[in-house]
Structure 1
Amino acid sequence: MSGKVKIYYFNGRGRMESIRWLLAAAGIEFEEEILESREQYLKMIKDGLLMFEQVPMVEIDGMKLVQTRAILNYISAKAGFQGKDMKEKVLVDMYVEGARDIGDMLLPLQFLPAEDRENSLKNIRKIACNRYYPVFEKVLREKGGGFLVGNALTQADLQLLEIIIMVDERMPDILKDFPHLQEFKALISALPQIHAFLQPGSQRKFMPDDNYVNTVRKVFNRS
């Protein structure tokens, strides 16, 4: 790899957090350029750093990558997190997209008026418990536990664990009826690179707060 990886995003989770998880799991060190002002964002566009004028952006292997899925797929392939053959890869892709469906429901929460968040959380809980968690529970039960796909860590495991932990933060009892997901959470969280990433002081970000929301709105000039 040519040079240290550098990521460009806000000081928060958003669409960069899954990339941070993947880099950490792969043992790839990275630096962060924190986006804090609209002027900084506009300069990045002027300097030609942001194709499509969007973040996340990741500098890796001499490239400036944008579009979250493209970045994740590149790092995943580089780290060997895509499965051992085409059949495993398509399973990984399906499970990643399923977990991401839940993540996409969580992303806007902090941007909603406080009075609307409770209803949104109730809806997320209903959808997760009725549609998504039962699927992953069944996959793990039929496999007899372990990883979602094959016998090695993949992007699907990382994406699902990230989502489980983010949902748990807001709904601590949500896994009570899903014993295999509980076991999965414990297993993947205990892997050395993941365990380190989950400790205080790592480059993992925490639940977005009002400061994060205000910075995003300021940078993108949104009310």
Structure 2
Amino acid sequence: MSKPKLLYFDIKARGEPIRLCFAIAGIDFDDVRIGRDELSALKEEPGKLPFGQLPVVEIDGKRLAQTLACCMYVGKKAGLVPTDDWELAKMFEFIGGVEDTQMKITMSIYEQDADKKKKMREDLATTTLPKWFGFLDSLAVQNGSNGYAVGSKLSLADLWVYMSLGWIKMGVLDGIPASLPDKYAALSKVYETVDTHPKVVEWNAAHAKPPQ
């Protein structure tokens, strides 16, 4: 297998779970971080971007799009995909719940009216996110509050929790307190499991950005 390449922007977002899969698997890859102008050029190349967007993973001349698909491929090599059918289904259940939660935040990002956006963020902080984080926290409790979203070892579901909670913890979403996820103990424990994983610690340390 030739050296894999990940094409994504110089942000975490949808590309970071794929990067972490590579890191946890110990697979060396080209972490290609592109700008908006480069994206426009890539869109002009036939077949370069299967859905006209990023992320895209290139391996042996083949291209794979969509974050979950890329993580499934790389994650299997990292042992992040359950072999038990029930645990696999529960992993997808958890990921689906996180994706639904993320979409509710994303809708507020694309709102152009300032007053409407402010109201959306207020609703997210006081009602919507507590409700959905409550759902996810309950699933983590049902799994034994053992620091894993599913089963008893790291899976892609844990990376999705890490991505979602990490987004809020960054404090970049106006109107949504960075401390909001802290209220959910079982979910926060999953976040800590990923955040303290040796490979994740190593990756984060190597790619930390200096304060602006």
TM (norm. structure 1) is 0.76
* Residue 95 (structure 1) aligned with residue 94 (structure 2): yes
Is 1:10 the equivalent of 2:36?
A: no
Bigger drift between 113-122 and 68-77 goes to: 113-122
Q: 2:56, 2:66 within 8 Å by CA — same for their partners in 1?
A: yes
Kindly, what percent of the aligned residue pairs are identical? Answer: 23
Question: Match for 1:197 among 173, 182, 203?
Answer: 203
User: Please, which runs of 5 or more residues in structure 2 have no aligned partner?
Assistant: 172-176
Structure 1 residues 45-78: Cα deviation after superposition (integer angstroms, max 9, x where no partner): 3254222433221112442112333222222223
Instruction: Determine whether 1:187 maps to 2:188.
Output: no
Q: Quick one: structure 1 residues 108 and 18, their matched pair in 2 at CA, closer, same or farther if it must change by over 3 Å?
A: farther
Q: Please tell me whether residue 137 in structure 1 is matched to residue 143 in structure 2.
A: no
One-letter amino acid of the structure 2 residue matched with residue 23 of structure 1: F
- Runs (4+) of structure 1 exceeding 6 A deviation are none
Alpha-carbon spacing, 1:118–1:27, altered in 2? closer, same or farther (3 Å)? farther
**1:13-69 deviation per Cα after TM superposition (whole angstroms, max 9, x unaligned):** 343233223323333232233333546633553254222433221112442112333
- Which consecutive residues of structure 1, in runs of 5 or more, have no partner in the other structure? 207-223
CA contact (8 A) 1:8 1:55 kept: yes
Larger RCO (CA within 8 A; separation ≥ 6): 1
Moved more, 46-55 or 81-90: 46-55
- Say whether the 8 Å CA contact 1:17–1:205 is kept in structure 2: no
Equivalent residues of 1:35, 1:41 under 8 A apart? no
Q: Which residue of 1 aligns with 2:120?
A: 120
For residue 148 of structure 1, what is the aligned residue in structure 2? Answer: 149
Worse-matched range after superposition: 184-193 or 85-94? 184-193
Taking the aligned partners of 1:12 and 1:81, their CA distance within structure 2 comes to 23
| Amino acid paired to 1:137 | D
Query: Over aligned residue pairs, what C-alpha RMSD do you find?
Result: 2.9
Which position in structure 1 is the counterpart of 2:161?
160
1:11/1:205 contact within 8 Å kept: no
- Between the aligned partners of 1:27 and 1:19, the Cα distance in structure 2 is 12
Post-superposition offset of 1:191: 1.0
- What amino acid sits opposite 2:181 in the alignment? L
Residues 38-47 or 118-127, more deviating: 38-47
- CA distance 1:114–1:7, shift in 2 (3 Å): farther
Cα distance, 1:18–1:119 mapped onto 2, change above 3 Å: farther
Asked if the contact 1:12–1:205 (Cα under 8 Å) also holds between the matched residues in 2, the reply is no
Q: Distance in 1 between matches of 2:185 and 2:21?
A: 25
Who is 2:59 aligned against? 60
